[in-house]
Amino acid sequence: MADLSVTFCGIRSPNPFWLASAPPTNTGDQVMRAFDAGWGGAVWKTIGDPIVNVSSRYSSVDLGGVRMMGLNNIELITDRTPEINFKEITEVKKRYPNHVVIASLMVESKRETWHEFVRRAEDAGADGLELNFGCPHGMSERGMGAAVGQVPDYTCQITEWVKEAAKTPVIVKLTPNITDITYAARAAKKGGADAVSLINTINSITGIDLDSFAPRPSVAGRSSHGGYCGPAVKPIALNMVASVAQANLGIPISGIGGISTWRDVVEFMLLGSTTVQVCTAVMHHGFRIVADMIDGLSNYLDDKGFASPADLCGRALPSVTKWEELNLNYKIIANVDQAKCIGCGLCYVACNDGAHQSIEAKPRPEGRTDVRILEDHCVGCNLCSLVCPVYDCITMKKVETGRPPVNWKEYSSSPDKYPYLKDPHH
């Protein structure tokens, strides 16, 4: 059996599954119940000077009958006092000494204030500190959150202030609301950060009430942009985690963004994460989802012959490259399994109207549509296989071209050597 324990910037955790700083970690009772359910660590809901939150706070985007594909919030940091939060951190660490408790902090941009909260968090027993440089709403208007994370110089400076006082590891939580997240990651490293976590939520407005004309969630008929999370942001998070990992900063990554299953966890690890943090899935389904994550990761590691999650870290990075380095002579075409085809014709409509007109359709009187791939026209875009409602009915098969690999750099320097590449159906 694989050993699921991990070490993250010197902090030992029973497993890589942590709760992200969010509503599920707002109280000591929640964190302790999460630990009982199997979570290895928790990043406390961000602590700062007491603030007042609004009502309502959340809205969502549903897709195809699936609720909360994306979740938007305009909730700020905890509205519970620092005294209460630090007291509960002490109690949790007393009862669960082998689990990880990270204090998430956000205060005004003053050296002495950061020093004070660092001291109070560490005195309470926190195993580490996460600096919230990512909240895109509410706090950013006050010069905190994303207002810090979007300016590398500020990220570096405040990280330096924290490191002056900190005795425990310092994790900088990065905002995705930036052109290139690696700038902020490098700034955090320059400031002395021991690790980074990403991504925080994405600026969003999830929808408008068509009767009141107010954005959701409505607060007395008005609203604001909020922070977007959930399964919808996972592709963005994976890309940014990979970008930071490929920057070779020499510090570990805690991956965040749309993680719901053990498969999501593995993907984040393969792109460079050591631990993962989960929020929306817990808000949707509760703490118990970690049991399936633990079983799934354990079985996957055993099946692959890996001893621990550390063996996964970054294994997919060599396959992540720039477009200009991809092989232009690699070719695939669609293949329809006629025995599985239900004759809905959706692949034909998608290809004919939205892609490359590479599918022939012949409607039958009874309503069924026979489809056939026009192989000489197919460019291997995958669209038909993606829209097909029957699993494995349309697959993509490799075509041997007999030509050696060539990438865009090579082609653009000597285009006359590869005249066939000008034909989209080569």
Helix pair angle (152-165, 111-123), 10° resolution: 50
CATH superfamily of 6-319: Aldolase class I (3.20.20.70)
Residues of the chain below pLDDT 70: 138, 141, 424-426
Can you tell me whether residue 281 is helix, strand or coil? helix
What is the residue-wise DSSP string for 192-237?
T-SEEEE---EEE---B-TTT-PBSSPBTTB---EEEESGGGHHHH
The tally of CA atoms less than 13 A away on the side-chain side of residue 392 is: 1
Same CATH topology for 6-319 and 323-422: the answer is no
Every domain of the chain and the residues it spans: 6-319, 323-422
Please tell me the distance from the alpha carbon of residue 253 to that of residue 194, in angstroms, as a whole number: 10
In this prediction the pTM is 0.95
The pLDDT value given to residue 426:
65
- The per-residue pLDDT for 147 is 82
How many helices (H) and strands (E) in the chain? 13, 18
| 344 annotated active-site | no
* pLDDT value at residue 368: 85
Beta bridge partners of 12: 7
pLDDT at position 79, please? 93
Question: Tell me, what's the pLDDT at 223?
Answer: 86
The one catalytic residue among 9, 135, 341, 393:
135
| 378-384-385-389 Cα dihedral, nearest 10 degrees | -160
Task: Tell me which architecture the domain covering 323-422 has in CATH.
Answer: 2-Layer Sandwich (3.30)
Residue 376 CB partners (closer than 8 Å, separation 6+)? 425
